[in-house]
Amino acid sequence: MRRLALAVLLVHAALAHGQCVKPGVSRWTVKTSLPANRNKPIAVTLEEITALPDPDLSGGKESDTRYPDDLGNGLKEGSLVRVSGWIRLIATDPDCDYHIQLTPTNSGVDGTVIVEVPNPKANFEKSPELRDSATAVRAFLLSKILKGKEPAGGKGSKIGSAYVEVVGQLFMDAHHSPNCDARGKQGMHATTCWEVHPIIAARFAPRPPQ
């Protein structure tokens, strides 16, 4: 029992300092890959992502294949999408992903969508192509938004006024279904289990009128 308690304390201490633990398990094969046959990125809004219907999960919430459901507008899990939003928070998750919360406005907490980029090390990301894109995306976030500091674990690091466009795979974080609104940190609850994961590109975008 003492060893277990010590291990738990060490994990919490690592997360508090922005460190990660090990690769994840839930749908890990899907969330760290892209389909062999990819579409050109489809432009969507955060509001459209939050309105997407849930797929049929009767085959299992931990499926290691992509859900085939037609979501409308040419979208399905695995589609590449392009979406813009305000970065409100970045955190280092226990699986070493950068967990990023986007909202459609720079105030309030409604409409949060979670987007993530994996750790580019080979034991976390098998694809050399995605290791390269993850390295580039994380370097952009570190140098341009995080001022060179790794994002905190746990509740994460709140961000000021960064409006960005990201490109990545539409991914269903089915492990959390049907409690999707329990996801999100510091009061910004995601109302959907749909994510953009992995992100393969990120850049600043023109800010919308306020």
| pLDDT attached to residue 182 | 85
| pLDDT, average across residues 1-28 | 57
**Residue 168 dihedral angles phi and psi, to the nearest 5°:** 180, -175
pLDDT digits (tens, 9 = 90+) for 171-187: 999 999 989 988 899 99
Whether 17 shows a pLDDT value over 70: the answer reads no
**In-domain check, residue 118:** yes
**In-domain check, residue 150:** yes
**In-domain check, residue 209:** no
**In 3-state terms, what secondary structure has residue 101?**
strand
Out of 2-11, 118-127, 172-181, 183-192, give the one with best mean pLDDT.
Answer: 118-127
| pLDDT attached to residue 3 | 41
**In-domain check, residue 26:** yes
- Please tell me whether the peptide bond between 94 and the residue prior to it is cis, using omega within 30 degrees of 0: no
Q: What is the CATH number of the domain that holds 119?
A: 2.40.50.140
pLDDT digits (tens, 9 = 90+) for 39-72: 999 999 999 999 999 999 998 999 999 999 999 9
**In-domain check, residue 156:** yes
- The whole-angstrom separation of Cα 115 and Cα 100 is 5
Q: Which helix (H) or strand (E) holds 140?
A: helix 128-140
Pull the structure tokens for residue 122.
């080979």
| pLDDT, average across residues 105-131 | 95
Range of the domain at 130: 2-204
Is 189 exposed, middle or buried, given 0-12, 13-18 or 19+ CB atoms closer than 10 A?
middle
pLDDT band at 5; cut points 50, 70, 90 = very low
| pLDDT, average across residues 13-26 | 68
pLDDT band at 24; cut points 50, 70, 90 = very high
Give percent of the chain above pLDDT 70. 91
**In-domain check, residue 210:** no
**In-domain check, residue 100:** yes
**In-domain check, residue 84:** yes
Overall domain count for the chain: 1
